[in-house]
Amino acid sequence: MHAGYAIRAPKESELPAVVHAVNEAARSHDPTAAARTDDEFRHVWAQLDTAYDVRVVTGPGGAVCGYAELSAAAAGGRIFADAYTHPAHLGAGIGTALLRWMEARATEMAPGVPAAGDAAPVALVNHVLLDGAADRMLRARGYRRTRIHLRMRMALGGPPVAPVWPDGVGLRACDGTPEDLRRVHACVEEAFGDHWGRVSRSYDQWAGDLLHDGFDPALWLVAERRGRIVGAALCREREVEGHVAGEVGQLGVRREARRLGLGRALLLASFALFAERGAGSVGLDVDSESLTGAHLLYERAGMVTTAGIGRFELELPVADGARR
């Protein structure tokens, strides 16, 4: 890095500055990127060992201008990385420094990460926008692109299209009780069971990821048939370009209820819900090679792709004398 820049573990008091730097970095590449919140980062940091697995870069004067974190999947042999450089500090070598740290730390972590199979190597995973500087840097360091995800969005205006529900299917909001949340979890786990790269999550793991500050059960739509949840759209409110926006975090339909139009109905119901709440747009991320053709469903509903995000993986060597 250039003179005056330093990389170190973060201080708890720096969390708001980290959130600001991350949001500035994300929006500089894609204005439709949803803003992250202090509560989200506070939740993430509570699950990580920030002394080892999180780094900030400070610039001349001490301001936070770079950020990176690492987290290991519960299974599947993957360590996930996330890193950002404030746009005002591009060209100072921050991205390279953070990437080197992530690779070194991930190599230390690798022996403790459950592998996908007996002979499968542990890999470091980065998600970056396609055809940009980060994409080129990862390729130059030997990363292999394994998947492309699409960020899609649609403006909300005018009367929403009314969903058509399959016979015998009714819609309601999750009631937020532990019993209902467990039923939603079971539905989502089954619905995404054949998703590429999917790692199953226990209820506690799932709840730990989703049920924190900002969770609103009224935004979780569930479709039932004969008392059984057969589909769900797990939504939340976000902020995009300074305005309230909706996000469909997960939309899944059990196999027994597919090809009946239920996915489209849940999507349209989500649009209507956000329109009622005054959101100006709604967005989501989707696998470009979804086995169910989800991205095509979203296109037919009026959503457009605003960014392509590549998943890049680097196989890691096993380090001797790993620290943790």
Q: Is residue 174 part of a domain?
A: yes
- DSSP summary character for residue 288: T
Are 28 and 99 in the same domain?
A: yes
Q: Is residue 290 part of a domain?
A: no
Are 230 and 269 in the same domain?
A: yes
Q: Is residue 291 part of a domain?
A: no
pLDDT in tens, 77-106: 899 999 999 999 999 999 999 999 999 999
Please check the confidence at residue 74 and state whether its pLDDT lies above 50. Answer: yes
Task: Give 71-95 as a DSSP string.
Answer: EE-SSSSEEEEEEEE-GGGTTSSHH
Are 117 and 171 in the same domain?
A: no
Q: Is residue 285 part of a domain?
A: no
Q: Is residue 286 part of a domain?
A: no
Q: How many CB atoms lie within 10 A of CB 215?
A: 15
Measured CA to CA in angstroms, residue 144 lies from 135, 150, 281, 310, 313 at distances of 10, 18, 33, 10, 5
CA–CA dist 10, 110 (Å, integer): 23
Are 135 and 256 in the same domain?
A: no
Q: Is residue 202 part of a domain?
A: yes
Angle of the 15-29 helix axis to the 38-47 helix axis, nearest 10? 110
Are 130 and 218 in the same domain?
A: no
Are 93 and 126 in the same domain?
A: yes
Strand stretches in the chain, DSSP E = 6-8, 54-58, 64-72, 78-85, 123-129, 144-155, 169-173, 220-225, 228-240, 243-253, 281-287, 304-315
Are 139 and 253 in the same domain?
A: no
Strand stretches in 156-242, DSSP E = 169-173, 220-225, 228-240
261: left (phi over 0), alpha (psi -120 to 50) or beta: left
Please check the confidence at residue 113 and state whether its pLDDT lies above 80. Answer: yes
- Cα angle 80, 246, 239; round to 5: 75
3-state secondary structure of 124: strand
Q: Is residue 210 part of a domain?
A: yes
Are 116 and 180 in the same domain?
A: no
Strands 304-315 and 144-155: antiparallel
The CATH number given to whatever domain includes residue 170 is: 3.40.630.30
Are 213 and 85 in the same domain?
A: no
Are 117 and 174 in the same domain?
A: no
Are 142 and 12 in the same domain?
A: yes
Are 92 and 169 in the same domain?
A: no
Domain housing 211? 157-279
State the average pLDDT for the chain.
91
Predicted confidence band of residue 61 (pLDDT cuts 50, 70, 90): very high
How much is the pLDDT for 205? Answer: 86
Q: Is residue 233 part of a domain?
A: yes
Q: Which helix (H) or strand (E) holds 16?
A: helix 15-29
pLDDT in tens, 210-238: 887 778 999 999 999 999 999 999 999 99
How much is the pLDDT for 194? Answer: 74
pLDDT in tens, 115-148: 666 557 899 999 999 988 999 999 999 999 999 9
Report, as an integer, the average pLDDT of 276-281: 94
Strands 64-72 and 54-58: antiparallel
Predicted confidence band of residue 322 (pLDDT cuts 50, 70, 90): very low
Q: How many domains does the chain have?
A: 2
